[in-house]
Amino acid sequence: LLDRHNTQYSTKGGSMASGQLSREEALACVGCRHACHILLYADTEAQLFEEIPIRHIVLMQMRFDGLLGFPGGLVDPSEESLEEGLSRELWEELGFSLSVTVEDHVSSCHNPSSSSSHLITHFYSRRMEEKEIREVEKAAASTATDHGHEVMGMVRVPLYTLKGGGGGLPSFLSHSFIGNSRSQLEDALVRFGLVTPEELQTALTHAEQMRK
């Protein structure tokens, strides 16, 4: 399916046409660049204002360019595996040692319409304990070498919607995101049962109104 001369994809393959491809298909692309990012999340009993359940801690980061995204970065598969590269990026950006494996892989996506048309983005996820997530946050704000440089800070994604409709997840989704990280977030929230499809849909509708 891959045209190895110019790294363009054939439009014949069903999965290719939609931009999704397997980890193996992605690695077979000669000339493509690869980026790996990860969603770290945990369950929590915490409540906002002792009233609204937080339900899950979901981590994203404020990048140097003012856009929201996930921790991770560029990986050259000729130098290290995708997972080794992602682990290295997490050490740089989070100051936390996490050994990512193939089992953590969620999806790989080629986005031909983006400006960097030969970039394949690989998405991973890892469920952690609340205690571990707090350690990640602590390290990211103190010992991480990229703190204050590539990464301005880690943020938690509000999963609730406040009364009136706008506050919480809708406001969060109305911010600007790097690449396809917003759709990675939306897909993962539903895929891992962190919000219901209905909750996401409602939040997206409000977010859309806010952006206008």
Q: Closer CB to ligand GTP, residue 85 or residue 161? A: 85
Q: Closer CB to ligand GTP, residue 188 or residue 200? A: 188
Q: Closer CB to Mn ion, residue 89 or residue 137? A: 89
Q: Which of 181, 189, 195, 200 binds ligand GTP (CB under 6 A)?
A: 181
Q: Is 170 in the site for Mn ion (CB under 5 A)?
A: no
What's the closest the beta carbon of residue 26 comes to Mn ion, in angstroms?
Answer: 18
Pick one of Mn ion, ligand GTP, none as the site partner of residue 35 (Cβ within 5 to 8 A by kind).
ligand GTP
Pairing of strands 72-75, 33-43: antiparallel
Binders of ligand GTP among residues 87 to 106 (CB under 6 A) are 89
Sequential DSSP letters for 80-122: S-HHHHHHHHHHHHHS------GGGEEEEEE-TTSSSTTEEEE
Pick one of ligand GTP, Mn ion, none as the site partner of residue 83 (Cβ within 5 to 8 A by kind).
none
Segment contacting ligand GTP (CB under 6 A): 41-49, 94-102, 115-123, 165-173?
115-123
Report the interhelical angle of 130-140 vs 82-94 (nearest 10°). Answer: 70
- Per residue in 45-73, is it b (16+ CB within 10 Å) or e — as a string? eeeeeeebebebbbbbbebeeeebbbbbb
Nearest-CB residue to Mn ion? Answer: 73
Dihedral sign computed on CA atoms, order 176, 114, 41, 85? negative
Pairing of strands 105-110, 119-128: antiparallel
Binders of ligand GTP among residues 38 to 67 (CB under 6 A) are none
Q: Is 144 in the site for ligand GTP (CB under 6 A)?
A: no
Pick one of Mn ion, ligand GTP, none as the site partner of residue 121 (Cβ within 5 to 8 A by kind).
ligand GTP
- Per residue in 124-142, is it b (16+ CB within 10 Å) or e — as a string? bbbebebeebeebbebbee
Site for ligand GTP, rule CB under 6 A? 35, 37, 69-70, 72-74, 89, 116, 119, 121, 150, 178-181, 184
